[in-house]
Copies of this chain bind each other. A is one copy, B any other.
Amino acid sequence: MPRKPSYNKDDLIVLAKELFWKKGWAGTSMKDLESTLNMRPGSFYAAFGSKDRLFELAIEQYAKEGLARLERMKQKYGAFEALKRFPGEIVSGKDIPVRACMLSKTLLELQGQDNVLSEKANYHLTAMEKKFAAFFKEAQMDGHIRNDLNVKKLARRYQSDLMGLRITAERKDVDAKVLAKEISHDIVATLAVK
């Protein structure tokens, strides 16, 4: 009977996610992974097969957490308020390795190299965009957002602006909270039912 591994695979994926998010795909060496996960090469390959496969699991984990976080905000505040609060939330998080979105980082790093992982990142970005569209739709049904607006377009623009915000938040000497407030303010100013 094979010995039961002494690690919890989900915990390791979370650790790998933090590392990849901070250092990127190329910037994370096998040595970094082995040290962070406290695994020898043999166990690493037995558990994950390859660095790329683990990276895939890591961005899946990242996307899952993002969607769950949005869902929690909606439960607490409702869809419209969640959309308004989200920009501020993502730039004020303290326990994150970097401010930029891991999916944007992956797309930018690997698209130009035709690495298939950039397609995976795009897949998760699309899922996130759909989530935003569902929130805008709900905000419309709740009577908060004008009915003549196309929720798919709103979601795409919202997501695009947030990606910009999160890059800007990486810059030194830039107070991204001010920018986040402006984005939230504009949602009310331009979309809300008067």
Q: Number of A residues whose C-beta is below 8 Å from B? A: 45
Chain A binding surface SS class = helix
* 25 A/B residue pairs, CB under 8 Å, sorted by A: A22-B112, A23-B112, A24-B26, A24-B108, A24-B112, A26-B109, A27-B110, A27-B112, A97-B112, A98-B111, A105-B108, A107-B171, A108-B109, A125-B171, A126-B171, A156-B174, A156-B179, A157-B179, A160-B167, A160-B168, A160-B179, A162-B164, A163-B163, A163-B167, A164-B164
Chain B residues, Cβ within 8 Å of A174: 156
Residues of A near any B CB (own CB < 8 A): 21-24, 26-27, 97-98, 100, 104-105, 107-113, 119, 122, 125-126, 153, 156-157, 159-165, 167-168, 170-174, 178-179, 182, 186, 189-190
User: Residue A153 contacts which of B159, B170, B172, B178 (CB distance < 8 angstroms)?
Assistant: B178
Whether B178 contacts A168 by the Cβ 8 Å rule is: no
Min CB distance A152 to B, Å, is 10
Whether B167 contacts A107 by the Cβ 8 Å rule is: yes
Stoichiometry, as copies per complex, reads 2
Residue of B nearest to A162 (CB): B164
Q: Evaluate whether A113 and B23 lie within 8 angstroms (CB atoms) in the complex, with A108-B105, A156-B174 already known.
A: yes
Chain B residues, Cβ within 8 Å of A111: 98, 100, 170
Choose among A23, A111, A162, A172 the residue with the greatest number of B CB atoms under 10 Å from its CB.
Answer: A111
6 nearest CB pairs, A to B: A164-B164, A26-B26, A160-B164, A22-B112, A160-B168, A163-B164
